[in-house]
Structure 1
Amino acid sequence: MKTIFSTLFLVVFSVVFHAQNKWETAKKTALENKELILLNFSGSDWCIPCIKLHKNIIETEDFKKLETENVIVYLNADFPRNKKNQLSAELKKENASLADQYNQKGIFPYTLLLNAEGKVLKTWEGLIPGDALAFSKEIREIKETQKQ
């Protein structure tokens, strides 16, 4: 009986977990923690400016502090081309949906700062100018203006 209950619980949990995609999870987390959402469209294995953006900004400690200090929820909508880097069908579908909503021109990289409801507060087309510290400071300043 215990095994049947455990199996049933895991099946129900996995269905609920998969039904809540990363976009919905990001919005929920941002709302609960009073954070902004940073949505980045990238081509991780073919777009040179995207690769530079990730290396010089997204992967830095200054940027990661934005996440650990509950300033932003970071969401990457990636569109890789190499076969070895392909995403799951579910993730491809979600990224395409995000692109339909926020990146209809197909710009790469394209970065948006959104509130928890998904309203666009600021956008950056192409490689973000400056360094990670300046970018982090700009995001913090925008968040401060949202509190008022």
Structure 2
Amino acid sequence: MKKIFFLLFICISFTSIAQNWQLDFEQAKQQAQQEKKNILLVFSGSDWCAPCIKLDHEIWQSDVFEAHARENLVMVKADFPKRKNNQLPEEQSKKNAALAERYNPNGYFPFVILLNAKGEIINQLGYKNLAPKAYINAIYEN
């Protein structure tokens, strides 16, 4: 049983690394400025929001999106899990709540915001039943 949990942890860790999600918005802004990239801020309920989970599996984890993000975006995830065993550290929960207060005051999930390196909103959208390439295009449409 321990081996199964260890393998699951390794798989989740590699998925997180492949997606290169940032958890600190201020660091993401600095990185975006240095690399001359936009920021994609994603509000997610990773353990309760069905469209969030679908977006993660169908878009964020796709090879097409990962290649695009690697070249063009700094990815930031503000997650709001509800299950007790998935709770984030208190400091991260506070950071995510501050981001929600500023960028998602209505509490939409999933909520995807394209920002410039200064943190100014360029576009925003939610879940759309699109292929990865079409979703990428939707991110940039205004």
Could you state the TM-score of these two structures normalised by the residue count of structure 2? Answer: 0.79
How far apart, CA to CA, are the structure 1 residues paired with 2:63 and 2:121?
A: 25
How far apart, CA to CA, are the structure 2 residues paired with 1:59 and 1:34?
A: 23
How far apart, CA to CA, are the structure 2 residues paired with 1:112 and 1:128?
A: 14
Please say if residues 43 and 108 of structure 1, whose CA atoms lie closer than 8 Å, have aligned partners that are also in contact: yes
Aligned length: 119
- How far is 1:132 from its partner? 0.8
Please say if residues 62 and 136 of structure 1, whose CA atoms lie closer than 8 Å, have aligned partners that are also in contact: no
Instruction: Determine what percentage of the aligned residue pairs are the same residue.
Output: 42
| 3-state SS, counterpart of residue 73 of structure 1 | strand
Structure 2 counterparts to residues 22-61 of structure 1, below 5 A: 22-61=24-63
Residue type of the alignment partner of 2:80: F
How far apart, CA to CA, are the structure 2 residues paired with 1:31 and 1:64?
A: 20
How far apart, CA to CA, are the structure 2 residues paired with 1:136 and 1:95?
A: 24
Measured on the aligned residues, the alpha-carbon RMSD in Å equals 1.5
| 3-state SS, counterpart of residue 107 of structure 2 | coil
How far apart, CA to CA, are the structure 1 residues paired with 2:26 and 2:35?
A: 14
Q: Which has the larger radius of gyration?
A: 1
How far apart, CA to CA, are the structure 1 residues paired with 2:35 and 2:45?
A: 29
Give ranges in structure 2 of 5+ residues lacking alignment.
1-22
| 3-state SS, counterpart of residue 96 of structure 1 | helix
Please say if residues 99 and 106 of structure 1, whose CA atoms lie closer than 8 Å, have aligned partners that are also in contact: yes
- Please say if 1:134 is aligned against 2:128: no
Structure 2 counterparts to residues 1-148 of structure 1, below 5 A: 22-69=24-71, 71-125=72-126, 127-139=127-139
How far apart, CA to CA, are the structure 1 residues paired with 2:78 and 2:61?
A: 16
- Residue-by-residue CA offset, 1:92-148 (whole Å, 9 max, x unaligned): 0000000000000000001000000011000003x1241111122445x66xxxxxx
